[in-house]
Amino acid sequence: MGKLAGKTALVTGSSRGIGRATAQRLAREGAVVAVHYTADERAAAQTVADIEADGGRAFAVRAELGVPGDVETLFEALEAGLKDRTGTTTLDVLVNNAAIMGGVAPEEVTPELFDRLVAVNAKAPFFIVQRALTLIPDGGRIVNISSGLTRSANPQEVAYSMTKGAIEQLALHFAKHLGPRGITVNSVAPGITNNGSPVFDIPEVVAQMAQLSAFGRVGDPSDVADVVAFLASDDARWITGAFLDATGGTLLG
């Protein structure tokens, strides 16, 4: 029996990358996992298929984040899926992973791009947590995926990093608020992680990125997923409001 047997989980942005690896890892621990996606239905279906092929249980839920009505759209699909598979709408584990990046120089950040980053990366997680609290029982788990860029400068991602700093604050304050209920809220900060983007197919670029890690390699999504799985388990019951550095030593300098 896995450490999450009988539990349920929602992982936002889990059709690829860290989100997919996290959904797969939680499912291997026994959780019924809701695989959230925005647009790539095929990728989400593949994540579900991979989980089921491994003996797990999962279902896909679609909702575009950062737009009006996003949270209700997400939770309508989530509650229907949970009810169908478990008979209840209880949500034991929430992983806020979905996010978008900026990738432009500070001088090129427009108000529209800034607002979009805030809407998807900070506003949506806040209201997802708020809404999830109607479903999460005492002793539940909330994990926010932050970024090592809240501790290390990359001017092309200044606005993105600001939003990731925001969800670290979400974890800190909600951890205090939800402590009496035994609900833990923590942040996990990945470093450079192979998310399947074309850049990771270029050996020279990967070699350069690998030098930023103390281990001399780029991260694999499973490296981060394993940390999230630990925080989602009862083993992490005494950890809340924490910032976990999962950058592979990138922040050591």
pLDDT at 233 over 90: yes
- The band of 197, judged by pLDDT with boundaries at 50, 70 and 90, is confident
Q: What is the mean pLDDT of the chain?
A: 97
- The band of 244, judged by pLDDT with boundaries at 50, 70 and 90, is very high
pTM of the shown model: 0.96
- 19-42 pLDDT per residue, tens: 999 999 999 999 999 999 999 999
- 108-130 pLDDT per residue, tens: 999 999 999 999 999 999 999 99
- 77-91 pLDDT per residue, tens: 999 999 999 999 999
How is the beta sheet containing 57-62 ordered, strand by strand? 57-62, 32-37, 8-11, 93-96, 141-145, 184-190, 243-246
* Three-class secondary structure assignment of 205-228: HHHHHHCCCCCCCCECHHHHHHHH
| Domain 8-252 fold | Rossmann fold (3.40.50)
Active site residues per annotation: 160
Give the C-alpha separation, 241 to 67, whole Å.
28
In this structure, what token pair is assigned to residue 1? 């029996």
pLDDT at 131 over 90: yes
The predicted structure's pLDDT at residue 217:
95
Q: Taking the domains of the chain in order of start, what are their residue ranges?
A: 8-252
The predicted structure's pLDDT at residue 252:
93
pLDDT at 1 over 90: no
Q: Quick one: which of 162, 158, 135 has its CA closest to 146?
A: 162
Give the C-alpha separation, 32 to 27, whole Å.
6
The predicted structure's pLDDT at residue 196:
83
Would you call 146 helix, strand, or coil by DSSP? coil
Mean pLDDT of 232-250: 97
pLDDT at 195 over 90: no
**Long-range contacts: 210-213, Cβ < 8 Å, 24+?**
212/250, 213/247, 213/248, 213/249, 213/250
- 200-226 pLDDT per residue, tens: 989 999 999 999 999 999 999 999 999
Sort 62 into a burial class: Cβ within 10 Å, 0-12 / 13-18 / 19+: middle
14-53 burial: b if 16+ Cβ within 10 Å, else e: bbbbbbbbbbbbbbbbbbbbbbbbbeeeebbebbbebbee
